[in-house]
Amino acid sequence: MKVNTLKSCVSKLVRHMGGTYAALVACAILGSAGSGAHPSLAQAAPGSPDGAIRICIVVPHFKDEYWLSVAYGLQLEAKRTGAELWTFESGGYHALARQLELLDVCRERQAEAILLGAVSANDPKILSAVASLSETIPVLALVNELRSPSLAGAVGVNWQEMGGHIGAFLFDRHPAGTEPATAVLISGPAKSGWAPLVETGLLAAIEGSAVRVVDIRRADTGLREQMREVEDALADHPEVDYVIGTAPAVEAAMGLLNGSAQADRPALVATYISHSIRRGMGNGSVLAVPFDNPILQGQLGVRMAIDATRGRTWTELVGPEIKLLVASEVPNQQISLSPAGFLPTIE
């Protein structure tokens, strides 16, 4: 995504962080350097001892292409700053025990900061682990909401607003008094720090419209798991007008509906971006998606982790501005995702 101004790519929440950090974020996004940069980061040149900060990254999994773009942003910023990344995947949103083990590994390897894409927003075990770790290591939430008072900060977007953008789009297409439309929603895990928020935002935004969500199904965000939910939803609701879903769900729907008569196909709307969704937007298979710039989230994560090792904390969410993309605008948009073939180095 081409970025021209701070306002165009950074949420209002970033600007609540104060002038110094806002300037830091602007410098990061624009790729500039010099007097506007945060002093501590300006000193952290690639390869310098001060830059070799050890950051442990624990994410749910890389089965979902979205996380590849987050990882690419992490890698870009680590290369620029000289930070050392240890990246771990937990194995899925149901792998709480494994994620807890990986957090112990981060401690044992003497990580200086932890970026955590939590598999649960509020499981007592993960909250306890974060509280314990944060006594000696700053822990920051990455992408997924984590309801812990022990966090040094959180990078991401408001997932309820992500759902709200979709709902507003549908409301405009089907205002009150127009012909009724139905939708199925294929969502993520119920205990995750994003899926319930998307659902809440979406349902609130379509209230009073002619759109009705007739079914909500939830699963881990691997392609196979999401495909099963799409198949079942379409079997139960063959006349549905919309399939709204996670990136893997919509990817699965594109494959399942390929070859169907255009008049018989439900329209597809994704709840977040991926490479497959970008392709679907380009060929008109996907109507719309809210874009939250996962690469930039990764870049901000590394920057915040470095600052956290120097005592910085944040009380508000820091992240990009959400932008709704619609298929008719895609030729004029630059949707920045990780390069084709990119795979992160996993421990």
Domains in the chain: boundaries? 6-156+293-321, 159-291
User: For residue 266, what are its two tokens?
Assistant: 């439900």
User: For residue 56, what are its two tokens?
Assistant: 């442990």
pLDDT of the chain, 347 residues: tens digit per residue: 322 222 333 333 333 333 333 433 433 333 322 223 332 333 333 433 445 899 999 999 998 899 999 999 999 999 999 999 999 999 999 999 999 999 999 999 999 999 999 999 999 999 999 999 999 999 999 999 999 999 999 999 999 999 999 999 999 999 999 999 999 999 999 999 999 999 999 999 999 999 999 999 999 989 999 999 999 999 999 999 999 999 999 999 999 998 776 667 899 999 999 999 999 999 999 999 999 999 999 999 999 999 999 999 999 999 999 999 999 887 646 789 999 889 998 99
pLDDT of residue 43: 37
CB 79 within 8 A of CB 302: no
CA distance 213 to 101: 38
How far apart, in Å, are the Cα atoms of 103 and each of 98, 126, 137, 303? 9, 9, 11, 20
The CATH architecture of the domain made up of 159-291 is: 3-Layer(aba) Sandwich (3.40)
Residue 244, judged by CB atoms within 10 A of its CB (0-12, 13-18, 19+), counts as buried
Round the CA-based radius of gyration of the chain to a whole number and report it.
20
Q: Which residues are 336's β-sheet partners?
A: none
Q: What's the one-letter identity of residue 242?
A: Y
Strands 286-291 and 267-270: parallel
Note the pTM of the prediction, 2 decimals.
0.85
CA distance 305 to 73: 13
Question: Which runs of consecutive H residues, i.e. helices, occur in 109-212?
Answer: 124-133, 159-173, 195-206
Q: Which DSSP symbol is given to 76?
A: H
Closest alpha carbon to 217 in 246, 192, 238, 255: 246
Q: Strands of 219-306 (E only): list them.
A: 242-245, 267-270, 286-291
Element (H, E) at 324: strand 323-326
Closest alpha carbon to 154 in 340, 305, 296: 305
Report phi then psi at 10, rounded to 5: -115, 135
> CATH assignment of 6-156+293-321, given 3.40.50.880, 3.40.50.2300, 3.40.50.10300, 3.10.20.30?
3.40.50.2300
pLDDT of residue 9: 34
CA distance 298 to 44: 18
Burial string for 284-302 (b: 16+ CB within 10 Å, else e) reads ebbbbbbbbbbbbbbbbbb
